[in-house]
Structure 1
Amino acid sequence: MDKLENYRQIIQKNLTAYQQWAMGANQPGVQQCVAFDEEHDHYFWFRVGWDGKRREFGVTVYLKIEQGKIWIEEDWTKQGIANDLLEAGVSAKDIVLGFQHPSKRPLTEFAIA
């Protein structure tokens, strides 16, 4: 399996696991969703629905694959999706913390772009 396909599978497996875990939170009216766009390599875990009279919508995790690297554009998990990617065998040099300003990325163990 080539690297790109492997990264797609790792991302989808992790986001699906998070979605299934979050569905156990028992929030009637709020759905936990994942969306995978393999053609453009965009991957989302988000919530949508109604909590009483309050609208619920938000992206919990947004990942994309660009130029052979996984870009973390949004991450509201406690442990950090980057740790899950590392545990799955993704090299730190192939992970970009896109939510960090470019000037801050060299201060991390991850790729700068």
Structure 2
Amino acid sequence: MDKLTEYPQIIKKILTEHAEICDRYPNPNIKKLLILDEERGHYIWMTLGWQKGERIAGMTIYARVLDGKFWIEEDLTEEGVATDLMRMGVAKEGIVLAFHEPNMRQYTDFAVA
């Protein structure tokens, strides 16, 4: 797998699928934003809006492609983006669960850095 060309396509596909599922149940006051910065390797799916007088703003998924690996910085999905990545053929060694403290990553089945 040519990581430089395939990894961005893989994460875009995953995030787009998540966004499309959410679009089936729209809330006019809360927007789902898909932010794809391929040049810098940042991929974000987030919500933004207002609900019952409170500001809603937060990342659901934030993944980076860095040094030939996926760095999952934020993941609030049920099954996890790492699971989606593995289904798409990415090895565990190519995924860093960056939301874990660096000294705790050694206890996961994924890359530490």
Q: % of aligned pairs identical? A: 42
Corresponding residue pairs, total: 113
2-structure distance, mates of 1:54, 1:23 = 21
Q: Deviations over 1:54-84 (max 9, x none)?
A: 2111100000011100000000000011000
Cα offset, 1:29, TM superposition: 1.2
TM-score using structure 1 length: 0.95
Would you say 1:73 and 2:73 are equivalent positions? Answer: yes
d(CA) in 2 for partners of 1:35, 1:4: 19
Displacement, 1:2?
A: 2.3
Instruction: List alignment gaps of at least 5 residues for structure 2.
Output: none
Return the TM-score normalized by structure 2.
0.95
Q: What SS is found at the alignment partner of 2:78? A: coil
> Which runs of structure 2 are paired with 1:29-68 in the superposition (5 Å)?
29-68=29-68
- Give 3-state SS (helix, strand or coil) of 1:59's partner: strand
Query: Helix, strand or coil: the match of 2:15?
Result: helix
What RMSD, in angstroms, separates the aligned Cα atoms of the two structures? 1.1
Distance 2:53 2:23 in 1: 20
Supply the AA of the counterpart residue of 2:59: V
Q: Is the 8 A contact 1:47 1:58 kept in 2?
A: yes
Deviation at 1:24, TM superposition (A): 2.1
Q: What SS does the corresponding residue of 2:90 show, helix, strand or coil?
A: coil
Counterpart in the other structure of 1:94: 94
Q: Is the deviation greater in 91-100 or in 27-36?
A: 27-36
